[in-house]
Amino acid sequence: MRQAGRYLPEYRAIKDRFGFWEMVRTPEIAAEVTLQPLRRFDLDAAILFSDIMTPLTSAGIQIEFNPGPCVTTPIRSHDAIRRLRLPHRSAIAPFVVNTIKMVREESVRPLIGFAGAPLTLAAYLVEGGGSADYGVLKRWLHDNTPAAHDLLRFLSDLTTRYLHLQIEAGVQAVQIFDSWAGIHSVRTYDEFGLPYLKQILAALDGTGVPRIYLAVGAAHLYRQIRTLPIEVISVDWRTPLDECRTLFPGKTLQGNLDPALLLASSKVVTEETRRTLRQGLGGPHIFNLGHGVLATTPPDNVARIVDIVHAYTRTEDDVL
């Protein structure tokens, strides 16, 4: 999940001096921000500081951040899709390659690369930004099905190249963020989500790099998600891990403490972290939050959960 960001004073100090794109596109800064959480907490992995929108600018799309992504000219026509460029792998984000190399040189902790899922990227591109109900997106997908498939195919090709680029540069796992998967019906996800995810994930077969998939608010899609070629399923806080275990046989589960609970008392933080660990006992489990750290999180509570996770003995016969 997102572990850098505004809850850290050292992040805010950098953010006060630079724009978001400048931070992402300057390898020294992006590497520093990637490593900030690791300098403060004894975390087991780093996640690249970048954004799901990063590869899209290389296709000719203008994006600003305020604080979420704003697409200057939303993409809703065949013409706009035809104008998109599919750059050569090395031209997508050379600065990301340098950031990855710098982080790998500075830290022995595994580095996770990432990309947005095509349907989640399309949500921002078609709406022009975040939205309360994603009505424009949903209407557009169903009213303009051929154009929608053209856009999603383009995004899948770009994402495949972008993930290969990150793997070549040295990331040791990749995570696909499908933050808006949960807004869709099973039928819409079946047509516009799943096939493109399969295409991207299958293209990573044989790289030896574990593939992690996170779909937020998407328990109704788990029957579809079961069929994805992934090693790890990242679970948001809504569904207990022990319930997910039976749905995803043979997979590693990642998650799933509710990030909002890091705003609660230390008693709650401790109890809920231990509950998450117990619920993950039935098989391979990567402890994580169920979504990114909130900006109002006290850093001490992050330190607390890291300590609890490291002190936990997985063999203990804990009773819920």
Residues 6+ apart with CB under 8 A from 280: 241, 242, 253, 255, 287
Contacts of 315-318 with C-beta under 8 Å, sequence gap 24+, read 318/274, 318/277, 318/278, 318/281
Nearer to ligand 1CP by C-beta: 280 or 292? Answer: 292
Cβ proximity of 72 and 124 under 8 Å: no
Minimal distance in Å, beta carbon 180 to ligand 1CP? 7
Distance (Å, rounded) from C-alpha 111 to C-alpha 209? 11
Q: Other C-beta atoms within 10 Å of 145: how many?
A: 12
CB-wise, 32 or 278, nearer to ligand 1CP?
32
Minimum separation from the CB atom of position 259 to ligand 1CP (A):
9
Distance in Å, CB of 47 to ligand 1CP, minimum: 5
- Residue number, 176 or 308, with CB nearest to ligand 1CP: 176
Find the shortest distance in angstroms from Cβ 208 to ligand 1CP. 22
Secondary structure of residue 274 in the 3-state scheme: helix
Q: How far is 129 from 115, CA to CA, in rounded Å?
A: 17
Which CB, 49 or 196, lies closer to ligand 1CP? 49
The binding site for ligand 1CP (CB under 6 A) comprises 2-6, 15, 20, 34, 47, 49-52, 65, 67-69, 114, 130, 177, 179, 291-292
**Vertex 176 angle, CA 247 and 241, to 5°:** 30
Provide, rounded to whole angstroms, the least separation between the CB of residue 130 and ligand 1CP. 3
Distances (CA, A) of 201 to 42, 96, 174: 30, 20, 10
Q: Shortest approach of ligand 1CP to residue 181 CB, angstroms?
A: 10
Q: For residues 228 and 245, which CB has a smaller minimum distance to ligand 1CP in the complex?
A: 228
Our CB check for ligand 1CP shows the closer of 245 and 291 to be 291
Least distance in angstroms from the C-beta of 267 to ligand 1CP: 27
Task: Name residues whose C-beta falls within 8 Å of residue 178's C-beta, 6 or more positions apart in sequence.
Answer: 116, 117, 119, 120, 193, 197, 213, 214, 215, 216, 218
DSSP letter for 173, please.
Answer: E
Nearer to ligand 1CP by Cβ, of 4 and 309: the residue is 4
